[in-house]
Amino acid sequence: MKVVSLQLPSGPSMERLPLPFSPTELLWRYPLPWAPPPPSPLGDTKAQLPAGLPPEPRLWTREDVIVFLKWCEREFDLPKFDVDLFQMNGKALCLLTKTDLGERCPGAGDVLHNVLQMLVRDACLLGRVPSSPVTPTARAAPYPPSPHSHPPTPTWTVDGFHHFHSAVAAAAQPNSVTLSPAPSVDSSGSPQRGETMSYAPTYAPPVPINAQASSGSNQSDSDEEAQFSQAPRSPKEVQQNSPAPQTHVVPQHTHYRVQHREFFPNDMPESNTNGRLLWDFLQQLLNDPTQRYTNYIAWKNRETGVFKIVDPAGLAKLWGIQKNHLSMNYDKMSRALRYYYRVNILRKVQGERHCYQFLRNPTELKNIKNISLLRQQMGHTQQPVKTEMKEERCEEDNMDEDMPTDLSINTCEQWRKRTWPDSAATPHDKHRISALIGDSIMMLKRDPEYNSEQCALNLKSEKCEQ
């Protein structure tokens, strides 16, 4: 298979960019004909297959099929399958079309079909598929006996596995990108992982974007490779393996929760945008439990939502990859960030380069998305919708009242005018307000409309504190 070759900057750790991608999002990740999916896009899923289940679906027995279905139920939180409808071997299962599968398991046909197709394709790539259709009677090849097994070592002589491992190794080389299953839930209603979900990009299937295997590997690369190879592969493993050797100490969720009541806790609720929205993407990078993105973006103060973009160009590249806009740069990405100012999702930390602050926590942001979707479904287009707040934080209580919950200019303008009926308030008025709240002088140096929002926010906060 031809491998996508992207020229990435040689910034910190750009060699491995385990983005918070979801395996169910592959078509979205790779919509372009010239950008085929990675060699083993289901690598993590494959590695999590039930013990003893051959990776080649067409070699499955009836019993294997049932095992696989049960596994899918658990892994993708699918509705219960009627196993009576799946009295077939793997070969027959693979012959079922998406429609067939959909009829047998409404609501899960697509997922099942996609998983099967990926497994089949993977098996083909790995060269372990019998060239002629045969009824499987024996396991074609050994497979790591446990979903928790380590990746095959290079000493394995089975070509397929060697190939697979090579891909992993390639991903660990400079200028390679690795994609991780998204920790969050697909907004299109794709599998949810329920209680096993964590806000953690998990094992990253390798996507060598530069087919040239680089032999050069500096120390930090080696360290990161070790970290990479030990990265948890499933949400469960994320928790189980959290004490794994890492450069950065990753606090365990419970421990962290006890110590801090965080604005942005590690176990924050799932967004439903799966990283398609910029704020979600940033949050996923920021909250990666393995801290793999701290070279790109890192919290400065997690409790207040202040973060710093450590590597603007690199982060923009990541975002570009995420959105398939490979010409993305920091200038463009920062423009997108600035659009968040007007809806009080973000604001700039004055005086600090590349520093921004989230003004809403993930719960609110999630609600924003939900409300947007809800509004679409209900046909509401203009009226600002109240955001349902579950947090008792003062700012949140005050921010949600009238604040627009989408990025549409109309909505924001309406809210702005309601908040500040005299939107043409004189600078004098605004300065008076800023004096009241004591900290808005800097804000008032720029766009008066933006400042009106900030002043309103700060004023409300002021009232809250009183």
Partner DNA sequence: GACCCGGAAGGATT
Partner DNA sequence: GAATCCTTCCGGGT
Angle at the Cα of 315 from the Cα atoms of 311 and 317, rounded to 5 degrees: 125
Q: Among 260, 325, 386, 417, indicate the residue that binds DNA (CB under 7 A).
A: 325
**Binding of DNA at residue 103 (CB under 7 A)?**
no
The span of 117-125, 230-238, 270-278, 419-427 binding DNA (CB under 7 A) equals 270-278
Between CA 65 and CA 104 the distance in angstroms is 14
Task: Give the shortest CB-432-to-DNA separation in angstroms.
Answer: 20
Q: Among 214, 334, 414, 461, indicate the residue that binds DNA (CB under 7 A).
A: 334
Q: Which is nearer to DNA, 118 or 371 (CB)?
A: 371
**Binding of DNA at residue 338 (CB under 7 A)?**
yes
Q: Which is nearer to DNA, 87 or 188 (CB)?
A: 188
Q: Which is nearer to DNA, 71 or 339 (CB)?
A: 339
Length of the chain: 466
Report CA torsion sign: 145, 3, 170, 286. negative
Structure tokens at 380: 């509401």
Q: Among 168, 278, 359, 457, indicate the residue that binds DNA (CB under 7 A).
A: 278
Between CA 127 and CA 116 the distance in angstroms is 17
**Binding of DNA at residue 430 (CB under 7 A)?**
no
| CB proximity list for 144: less than 8 A, separation 6 or greater | 47, 150, 151, 152
- Strand, coil or helix: what is 297? strand
Structure tokens at 176: 């390679």
- Which positions from 153 through 212 interact with DNA, judged by CB under 7 A? 188
Task: Give the shortest CB-127-to-DNA separation in angstroms.
Answer: 33
Q: Among 339, 429, 459, 462, indicate the residue that binds DNA (CB under 7 A).
A: 339
Between CA 345 and CA 368 the distance in angstroms is 10
Task: Give the shortest CB-237-to-DNA separation in angstroms.
Answer: 29
Between CA 371 and CA 384 the distance in angstroms is 10
**Binding of DNA at residue 373 (CB under 7 A)?**
yes
Q: Which is nearer to DNA, 173 or 274 (CB)?
A: 274
- What is the total count of residues that contact DNA (CB under 7 A)? 46
Beta strands in 73-146 (DSSP E): none
The DSSP bridge pattern shows strands 19-20 and 177-180 to be parallel
Q: Among 29, 276, 317, 416, indicate the residue that binds DNA (CB under 7 A).
A: 276
Q: Which is nearer to DNA, 352 or 388 (CB)?
A: 352
Task: Give the shortest CB-458-to-DNA separation in angstroms.
Answer: 16
**Binding of DNA at residue 31 (CB under 7 A)?**
yes
Q: Among 271, 283, 411, 452, indicate the residue that binds DNA (CB under 7 A).
A: 411
Between CA 282 and CA 315 the distance in angstroms is 9
What element of type H or E holds 356? strand 355-358
Using the structure block, give the residue that is written with the tokens 């295997």: 213
Q: Among 99, 220, 376, 426, indicate the residue that binds DNA (CB under 7 A).
A: 376
Task: Give the shortest CB-387-to-DNA separation in angstroms.
Answer: 12
**Binding of DNA at residue 330 (CB under 7 A)?**
yes
Task: Give the shortest CB-407-to-DNA separation in angstroms.
Answer: 3
The torsion of the CA quartet 428, 434, 439, 442, rounded to 10 degrees, works out to -40
Task: Give the shortest CB-378-to-DNA separation in angstroms.
Answer: 11
**Binding of DNA at residue 317 (CB under 7 A)?**
no
**Binding of DNA at residue 106 (CB under 7 A)?**
no
- Which positions from 391 through 410 interact with DNA, judged by CB under 7 A? 406-408, 410
- Enter the DSSP assignment of 146: S
Order across the sheet with 346-348: list the strands.
297-301, 306-309, 355-358, 346-348
The span of 5-13, 65-73, 107-115, 316-324 binding DNA (CB under 7 A) equals 316-324
Between CA 186 and CA 323 the distance in angstroms is 15
- Strand, coil or helix: what is 300? strand
Q: Which is nearer to DNA, 152 or 384 (CB)?
A: 384
Q: Among 12, 28, 88, 156, indicate the residue that binds DNA (CB under 7 A).
A: 28
**Binding of DNA at residue 416 (CB under 7 A)?**
no
The DSSP bridge pattern shows strands 297-301 and 206-207 to be unpaired
Please say whether the beta carbons of 88 and 15 come within 8 A: no
Which class for 181: exposed (0-12), middle (13-18), buried (19 or more C-beta within 10 A)?
buried
The residue ranges that bind DNA (CB under 7 A) are 28, 31, 188, 276-279, 312, 319-320, 323, 325, 327-328, 330-336, 338-339, 341, 348, 352-355, 368-369, 372-373, 375-376, 381-382, 406-408, 410-411, 446-447, 449-450
